[in-house]
Amino acid sequence: MIVDSDFVPARWLRHRHAQTIYASLPWAYRRWPKVRRQELRLPDGDSTAVDWLVAGDELPGTAPLLVILHGLEGSGQSAYARMLMESAYEFGWRSCVLHFRDCGDYRNRLPRRYHAGETNDLRYFLETLHKSPEAEENAGPVLAAGFSLGGNILLKYLGESGDATPLRAAAAVCVPLNLHECADALNQGFSRFYQRYLLKRMKRALTGKFDRYTAAFDWDKAMSASTFAEFDDWVTAPLHGFKDMQDYYDKCSSVKFLDGIARPTLILNALDDPFMTPDVIPAEHQLPEHVTLEVSAAGGHVGFIDGGTPWKPTFYLPGRILSYLQPNAAMPGL
């Protein structure tokens, strides 16, 4: 099902680039909830980090748990993750941010990072929630929300898992459903600004983990990459077992996994998102009965500022995500 979004941009912030950039500025959301860090040791010997909202520790283990997946080069410190954690707590929910490998301030152990199709880490983490010694602390319904690249991973995981997922419901925001289309879009016009900024961060992360003698890819090509397509062809693909960028995008674009989703799932994308084009929006016949695609004319990329003032904006996403997930959190167990 495809529905129109109720989102209306703030009168003082209507342009798609203004929405995208302003939402990421440090003063746009100034609250920094306290979190505790858990190291998650993975089956292949690697590790990553999970940040849990400390305030949620006072809630019972039967309270709903919201698992948040961040975007490209994001972390639990990203504003959209912080505001969603605090909003979830106001609903009486516990929450955590599962970091992708080598993200935030945590360095993983193996010579690899993360990519848009890495669903095994999410799958393993969800399994541990009910199989670990702390299982009683995670006895409530589990839900998930993913942003951008994290949304792609979440949708791909749901499509792969079908009924075999412990998640009750999910929401995915500003999802690069077709990685080919998104790589092209980010190489056009002002969107190249975001591409340059993110590539700079990605290269900096590489230099903190590899050098030309330890890299399992062509170091000189990696450092010279000027587009996402080049970076993914020269770094992401060889580092994670894909033949090339085309193979990576073909196998990891979440639009190909939508028909396998068997849990209530909201996808919320904006037509003016500068990280993609409207061509990524699937046709209604491509959506299974459990998926609702909400399409907004505005919002930019993980912006969706709907009011307030430039000094204290208000945000549409936390309330929309939680209002969608809430009925499924309250339902009897699966």
| Of 25-29, 128-132, 248-252, the least confident | 128-132
299-324: average pLDDT: 97
Catalytic residue among 70, 99, 115, 301: 301
The answer on 169 and 243 residing in a single domain is no
Range scoring the smallest mean pLDDT among 12-16, 24-28, 246-250, 259-263: 24-28
Let me know whether 26 and 121 are in one domain. Answer: yes
Give the other-Cβ count within 10 Å of 284's Cβ: 9
Q: Assign 23 to helix, strand or coil.
A: helix
In which band, very low, low, confident or very high, does the pLDDT at 136 lie, cut at 50, 70 and 90?
low
The pTM of this model reads: 0.95
209 with 160, same domain: the answer is no
Give the end of a domain, one of 252, 277, 292.
252
Least Cα distance to 56 among 77, 36, 32 occurs for 36
Question: Could you say which of 51, 102, 232, 273 is catalytic?
Answer: 273
What pLDDT sits at residue 161? 97
Is 161 a residue of the active site?
Answer: no
CATH number for the domain that contains residue 169? 3.40.50.1820
Give the whole-number percent of the chain exceeding pLDDT 70: 97
Query: Which residue of the set 148, 253, 254, 296 is catalytic?
Result: 148
Task: Tell me how many domains the chain contains.
Answer: 2
If asked whether residues 186 and 168 sit together in one domain, one would say no
* Residue showing tokens 């061509």: 279
Domain ranges, residue 235: 179-252
On the 0-12 / 13-18 / 19+ scale of CB atoms within 10 A, 272 is buried
Based on the residue annotation, tell me whether 253 is a catalytic residue of this protein.
no
The pLDDT-based confidence of 133 (bands split at 50, 70, 90) is: low
- What pLDDT, on a 0 to 100 scale, did the predictor assign at position 139? 80
Active site residue 301: yes
Q: How many CB atoms are located within 10 Å of the residue 144 CB?
A: 29
What is the predicted pLDDT for the residue at 132? 59
pLDDT, position 71:
96
- Is there a domain that residue 259 lies in? no
Tell me whether residue 260 is in a domain. no
What is d(CA 284, CA 291) in angstroms, rounded to the nearest whole number?
10
Rg (CA), the chain: 19
Compute the distance between CA of residue 78 and CA of residue 120 in angstroms, rounded to an integer. Answer: 23
Q: State the Cα–Cα distance between residues 313 and 319, nearest whole angstrom.
A: 14
Confidence of residue 333 (pLDDT cuts 50, 70, 90): low
Q: Using CA of residue 187, residue 192, residue 196, residue 201, what is the dihedral sign?
A: negative
